[in-house]
A and B are shown apart, each in its own frame.
Chain A
Amino acid sequence: GAVVSQHPSWVICKSGTSVKIECRSLDFQATTMFWYRQFPKQSLMLMATSNEGSKATYEQGVEKDKFLINHASLTLSTLTVTSAHPEDSSFYICSARSVIQETQYFGPGTRLLVL
């Protein structure tokens, strides 16, 4: 149980295009999902907290118009990187909070490369 999926697992795009990443909790409902960014050999940096049916809460320094988050259902949150640039290349990881188990479960991550 407590499986979280992400799609796609990797994506290569041209500079200026937008990329959408999906995060799904497969066997539990998640009222709260989180989006992280991880640079090579570094820890996870929380970008935003996504609550089902409401606007996401962004961490300081994260551009909300750049990283659009939608949490339309209890099992799906999406992150759209708009007008991507090479500096947006990174490993993006989502997590979903299981209310019952009081634990965050993480997806496998999406590697984004912007050319």
Chain B
Amino acid sequence: AQSVTQLGSHVSVSEGALVLLRCNYSSSVPPYLFWYVQYPNQGLQLLLKYTSAATLVKGINGFEAEFKKSETSFHLTKPSAHMSDAAEYFCAVNSGGSNYKLTFGKGTLLTVNP
């Protein structure tokens, strides 16, 4: 079984401040982990993914995430928030298997204040 917990349904930061969105996972096998971003009334866009290569993963728009097996975490960070980063962010896990299903967290809404 696999599951994802995103701590904080809403995170608010000032423009230029550090962004930290938390994600913890549960998986019985080495997982693949993903962060997706969703803008209002749109589908999901892949930000970055971890697939058992380097533990520090760099994605688009200046985001990165670090896979920490000991903490079962995959937190998303960005050094300096931009107004355009305001969106809903979803962490997802895939524990392999023939069905390739993703299990999503409940999402974190990021607001960026000027």
Chain A residues engaging chain B, CB cutoff 8 angstroms: 4, 6, 32, 34, 42-44, 46, 49, 57, 91, 93, 95, 97, 102-109, 111
Contacts and interface: CB of A to CB of B under 8 A. Distances in A.
B22 interface: no
B45 A106 contact: yes
Nearest to B103: A46
What 6 pairs between A and B have smallest CB-CB spacing?
A: A106-B44, A106-B43, A108-B43, A109-B43, A43-B106, A43-B104
A83 to B, nearest CB: 26
Contact of A109 (B34, B42, B51): B42
Contacts of A43: 90, 104-107
A102 B106 contact: no
Contacts of A4: 43
Contacts of A91: 41
B84 interface: no
Contacts, number: 48
Contacts of B100: 32, 49, 97, 104
A34 B32 contact: no
Interface of B: 32, 34, 36, 41-46, 49, 51, 90, 99-102, 104-107
Contact of B43 (A6, A42, A46): A6
B30 to A, nearest CB: 13
B81 to A, nearest CB: 21
Given A57-B99, A106-B44, A111-B41, 12 more contacts: A4-B43, A6-B43, A32-B100, A34-B101, A42-B107, A49-B99, A102-B51, A103-B34, A104-B34, A105-B46, A106-B36, A107-B43
